[in-house]
Amino acid sequence: MKQIAYIVLVTLFFTCSNGTEKKSVSKEVESTEKKSNKDYKIIGYAAGYEDYDFSKIDATKLTHINFAFANIVDGKAAFELETDAAKIATLMGLKKQNPDLKVLYSVGGWVWSDQFSTMAAFESSRQKFAQSCVDLLKKHGFDGVDLDWEYPGQRAEDNIFRPSDKDNFTLLIKTIREALDVQGKKDSNHYLLTIATGADQAYIDNTDLGEAHKHLDFINIMCYDYFNGWMHQTGHHANLHPSDKDKYDVNSGVQAVERHIEAGVPTDKLVMGIPFYGRQWGKVSSVKDGLYEPANEGGIIVAYWDIVEKIKSGNYKTLYDESAKASYLWNAKDSIFISYDTPKDIKLKTDYIKVKGLGGAMFWEYSLDKDQELLNTLYKNLK
């Protein structure tokens, strides 16, 4: 009875919070119970450039690990750091802990997305890249490939982009899928192909996810960085719901998921991204608690373990935006504002994942949560 009552409460919460959910309570409870029986994915990115011992990764709490990143060099997928091979070998060794673990490698990212547009623009270069993805996969024993093209048709770090990115994006994914299937047939194995997607409408407009998803196993939505280092204004960077304090209605996890569904992606193919880091603004001009106020220093990334230490210092006031379901810190003495996810926030996100029938959760990035406080919350509530 307690479990049923809890599900009803969760359902009522999300029905009230999201106007698109208009099912009756009884039907939603029945649906939620069915969806909660599925095997949810817990996907962790592991950054090869971080000074972190991969042998410390608890693979028993993960279904997938995405090793980040491979670059595009001379039109081919390639690892460029001297430490990559050793770290990849360590990741493969984690399968002794968890034989069902899938290890993929991710190509691109914020800095290394600059070659995607040109490579994807021509059939011959798409074929060359796709074959290099297979070759790299076979060389190291990966289970699949993850593309992190940030962002098709848009300016990002210093990337080249063109209007044809929208169509070429799908063509590239299709070409890689075909190359993986050819190799998979030889090996009697299915190799995974996934992507990380932007959470905003601009990403949706510059891709055709309704077609692209047909060639993908699942899609990881980057439900974070809504307010980020480009912005000299504070705000939630990973809020689940829109905040009634945000007059610009920048973004939220619920809105990001709905955009992908409206674009034609099946709900169970969508994985919600969760940050294991916060965004910190300095020199905030505040008249209250720093939220949605101007700052002279943009939102830099701060690891969750570092945030925990900051809270212990006693210099920060812990605050919560009930409408957004989002936590934040305010240091009035030093004029510092931090947006971040707590275990409470992650619990609410896992509730949403279950109610909505999503495929699971992804997080960036393993080393940022050294004591596994956030990972343990994900695992407890999804597995």
Comparing CA positions, the residue from 301, 106, 278, 99 lying closest to residue 194 is 106
The tens-digit pLDDT sequence of the chain (383 residues) is: 333 333 333 333 333 344 443 333 233 333 444 444 479 999 999 999 999 999 999 999 999 999 999 999 999 999 999 999 999 999 999 999 999 999 999 999 999 999 999 999 999 999 999 999 999 999 999 999 999 999 899 987 778 899 999 999 999 999 999 999 999 999 999 999 999 999 999 999 999 999 999 999 999 999 999 999 989 999 999 999 999 999 999 999 999 999 999 999 999 999 999 999 999 999 999 989 999 999 999 999 999 999 999 999 999 999 999 999 999 999 999 999 999 999 999 999 999 999 999 999 999 999 999 999 999 999 999 99
Domain membership flag for residue 149: yes
Strand-pairing partners, residue 281, are 337
What DSSP string describes 12-63? Answer: HHHHHH-TT----HHHHHHHHHHHTTS--EEEEEEETTS---GGG--GGG-S
Comparing CA positions, the residue from 305, 327, 326 lying closest to residue 318 is 327
What's the Cα-to-Cα distance from 268 to each of 121, 143, 194, 198, rounded to whole Å? 30, 20, 14, 18
Domain membership flag for residue 200: yes
Show the DSSP H helices in the chain as ranges.
2-17, 25-35, 84-93, 116-120, 123-140, 165-187, 201-205, 209-212, 253-262, 304-312, 343-356, 373-382
Residues spanned by the domain of 374: 2-276+343-382
Domain membership flag for residue 242: yes
Q: Give the per-residue pLDDT at 157.
A: 72
CB-based contacts of 318-323 (< 8 A; 24+ apart in sequence): 319/289, 319/291, 321/236, 321/239, 321/243, 321/245, 321/291, 323/241, 323/242, 323/243, 323/244, 323/245
Given the residues 28, 150, 293, 365, the one annotated as active site: 150
Supply the CATH number for residue 259's domain. Answer: 3.20.20.80
Q: Give the per-residue pLDDT at 155.
A: 84
Q: Give the per-residue pLDDT at 156.
A: 75
Q: Which residue matches tokens 């919600």?
A: 272
Domain membership flag for residue 307: no
Could you tell me the pTM of the whole model?
Answer: 0.90
What residues have CB less than 8 Å from 322, skipping those under 6 apart?
A: none
Domain membership flag for residue 302: no
Look up residue 304 and give its two tokens.
């969750």
Q: Which residue matches tokens 């810190």?
A: 329
Judge residue 278's burial from the number of C-beta atoms within 10 Å of its C-beta, 0-12 exposed, 13-18 middle, 19 or more buried: buried
Q: Give the per-residue pLDDT at 73.
A: 98
Domain membership flag for residue 129: yes
Domain count, the chain: 1
Look up residue 144 and give its two tokens.
């699949």
Domain membership flag for residue 179: yes
Q: Give the per-residue pLDDT at 49.
A: 97
Is 150 among the residues known to form the active site?
Answer: yes
Domain membership flag for residue 296: no
